Structure 1
C-alpha cells in the first residue's frame, strides 16, 4: 500500500522554426503549446493519467488538481532541432468525507450492511476505493479495531449462518489454491498472509477471502454475505 504514486508520460515535441547554430538550438520565433491532463479510475480504484500537448494555444487546464514536474532537453538531428519533454504527474485526490484516516496507512470505511464478496468489491470501487488489502501487521490492527468498535456485527445471523467475518481483497478464482490480491499480487508476497487453523481448506467452491475478528484469514464461498472494509489510497 502506497500513500502517493507517480504516473510518468514521455511526450516528444518537434517545434517548427528552429535552427542549429553554435551547438545550441535557437528560436527564430516564439511557439506556444497547451498541456492538458485527464485521468480515470480502473477496476481497482487506481488512477490512469493521460498527458496531451497541443501547439498553438495559450491556456493550460486539467482536472483533477495535478502537480506537474516538467523536464526537457533539446536534441539535434541533422540540423533539425527538437525538444523532448518528460512530464511527471503526482496525484493526491481527496478521500470520501465518510472515510477515516489512519496516520501512515491510509483511509478506511467499514460497511455494516452485509453483501456478497463481488458486490462488496464493486461497492468499494463505486466509492473510488477498493476492498481492503492487508499489507502489514499495522493494517491488520485497523481491521481488528473495527471488530472491537462494532461488536454487534458478530451476533448477527442470516439463514442460520453467523456473520463472523469481513471480506478482504484476495481470492483464488483464477487458479484453485493460488491466492492473489485484487491488484494481482501473490497473497504470500502482500505483506500479510496469516491463515486461521486448517485454512485454506482448498474446496472448489471456497474462492473468496475473509478475515475473522482476530484477522486470521479464511477462504469461503463468494456468495457469503458478510461485512466489508473499503480502503482508499491517494
Structure 2
C-alpha cells in the first residue's frame, strides 16, 4: 500500500531522462516545476517507489554554494536530505537529484536523469 500524499499537490514521475534544464522546461510545459521537497513525509512519499535517480528543483548554478529552490522557497529554512559528503562543492555539480534511497546528490546539470514535476492544486 502506498503512502498518503503529504500535501495538496500533483506529482509527475517521468519515464524519460533529461538534463536538469530540459527537465525544468518539461515541467513548465505541464504548468509545474521540478519538485520542491518541504518535509520528511514528502520525501518518503516520493522515494517509496523510486528505482532511479530523479532531478529535483534545487540548484546552485547562480552562485556556487548558494542553493535555490525553483519556486523561490527559502533553502536555508527547509529540511535537507543530502547524502553524507554532499553537496561536495564540485564547481561542475550545480543541480540536485534524489536517489532511490531518498538522499540528495549534486550532479552536473548536463547529466541525464529522470525527473519529478510538482504542481499545486
Output the TM-score relative to the length of structure 1. Answer: 0.48
Larger CA Rg, structure 1 vs 2: 1
Equivalent position SS for 2:62? coil
Superposition deviation, residue 186 in structure 1: 3.5
Render the CA deviation track for 1:74-122: whole Å, top value 9, x for unaligned.
Answer: xxxxxxxxxxxxxxxxxxxxxxxxxxx9364311110010111010101
> Any unmatched runs of 5+ in structure 1?
1-100, 155-164
CA distance in 1, matches of 2:6, 2:84: 32
1:226 match = 113
1:212 match = 99
Work out whether residues 167 and 227 of structure 1, in 8 Å CA contact, stay in contact via their aligned partners in 2: yes
2:36 match = 133
> Any unmatched runs of 5+ in structure 2?
none
The ranges of structure 1 where at least 4 consecutive aligned residues each deviate by more than 4 angstroms after the TM superposition are none
1:41 match = none
1:78 match = none
Q: Over aligned residues, Cα RMSD in angstroms?
A: 1.6
Superposition deviation, residue 183 in structure 1: 2.0
CA distance in 2, matches of 1:142, 1:131: 16
1:19 match = none
The equivalences for 1:73-84 within 5 A come to none
CA distance in 1, matches of 2:60, 2:6: 31
Name which structure has the greater RCO, CA cutoff 8 Å, separation 6+. Answer: 2
Render the CA deviation track for 1:41-78: whole Å, top value 9, x for unaligned.
Answer: xxxxxxxxxxxxxxxxxxxxxxxxxxxxxxxxxxxxxx
Superposition deviation, residue 189 in structure 1: 1.5
Which one has the bigger helix percentage?
2
Matched pairs, number = 118
Work out whether residues 7 and 42 of structure 2, in 8 Å CA contact, stay in contact via their aligned partners in 1: no
The equivalences for 1:1-234 within 5 A come to 102=5, 104-147=7-50, 151=51, 154=52, 165-190=53-78, 192-234=79-121
